[in-house]
């Protein structure tokens, strides 16, 4: 017996029908998405509110980042979802290291950035 399964054609971004033999699905500890990424069975995707709270930003800011494609997301129908692992990677990628402090004993340090605008030059 065969069943029709809808698959995503990655080249065209369209759904295609494919005939598959009927098989009983097997449950495993991991669900394979593609050859590079797996999601553990206990993990779940976050909603827009949960992701905004996780990132400590407003929901509207997060929608803006999605629109600008600045943050990875998943579309399920019309709903936006976020993978917690992708959000952790996003946070790590946007970390900045602090600058080195200038020693106060240095005589060449000028406290004014633009001396001409400050009337000192």
Q: What's the mean per-residue pLDDT of the chain?
A: 74
Counting the structural domains of the chain, the total is 1
Highest mean pLDDT among 23-37, 51-65, 95-109: 51-65
Mean pLDDT, to the nearest integer, of 91-111? 75
Residue 84 inside a domain? The answer is yes
Distances (CA, A) of 96 to 37, 68, 91, 92, 99: 27, 21, 10, 9, 9
Residue 14 inside a domain? The answer is no
Q: What is the pLDDT of residue 117?
A: 72
Q: What is the pLDDT of residue 32?
A: 47
Look up the pTM and report it.
0.51
Using CA atoms, how far apart are residues 45 and 86, in angstroms rounded to an integer?
Answer: 10
What angle do helix axes 48-55 and 59-67 make, rounded to 10 degrees? 100
Domain that holds residue 64: 45-94
SS3 87: helix
Of 59, 60, 31, 57, the closest CA to residue 44 belongs to: 31
Residue 52 inside a domain? The answer is yes
Residue 21 inside a domain? The answer is no
* Percent of all residues in the chain with a pLDDT value above 90, rounded to a whole number: 44
Residue 6 inside a domain? The answer is no
Asked whether the predicted pLDDT for residue 24 surpasses 60, the reply is no
Mean pLDDT, to the nearest integer, of 61-85? 96
Using CA atoms, how far apart are residues 89 and 33, in angstroms rounded to an integer?
Answer: 18
Q: What is the pLDDT of residue 28?
A: 47
* Percent of all residues in the chain with a pLDDT value above 70, rounded to a whole number: 51
SS3 110: coil
Using CA atoms, how far apart are residues 64 and 62, in angstroms rounded to an integer?
Answer: 5
Residue 20 inside a domain? The answer is no
Residue 88 inside a domain? The answer is yes
Residue 36 inside a domain? The answer is no
Distances (CA, A) of 40 to 27, 46, 87: 12, 14, 16
pLDDT band at 13 (very low <50, low <70, confident <90, very high): low
Mean pLDDT, to the nearest integer, of 82-102? 91
Q: What is the pLDDT of residue 84?
A: 96
């Amino acid at each position: 017996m065969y069943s029709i399964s809808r698959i995503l054609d990655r080249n065209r971004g369209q759904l295609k029908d494919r005939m598959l033999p009927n098989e009983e699905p097997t449950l495993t500890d991991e669900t394979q998405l593609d050859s590079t990424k797996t999601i553990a069975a206990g993990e779940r995707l976050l909603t827009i509110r949960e992701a905004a709270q996780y990132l400590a930003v407003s929901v509207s800011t997060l929608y803006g980042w999605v629109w600008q494609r600045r943050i990875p997301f998943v579309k399920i129908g019309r709903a936006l979802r976020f993978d917690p692992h992708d959000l952790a990677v996003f946070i790590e990628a946007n970390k900045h290291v602090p600058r080195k402090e200038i020693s106060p004993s240095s005589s060449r340090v000028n406290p004014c950035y633009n001396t001409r605008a400050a009337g000192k030059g």
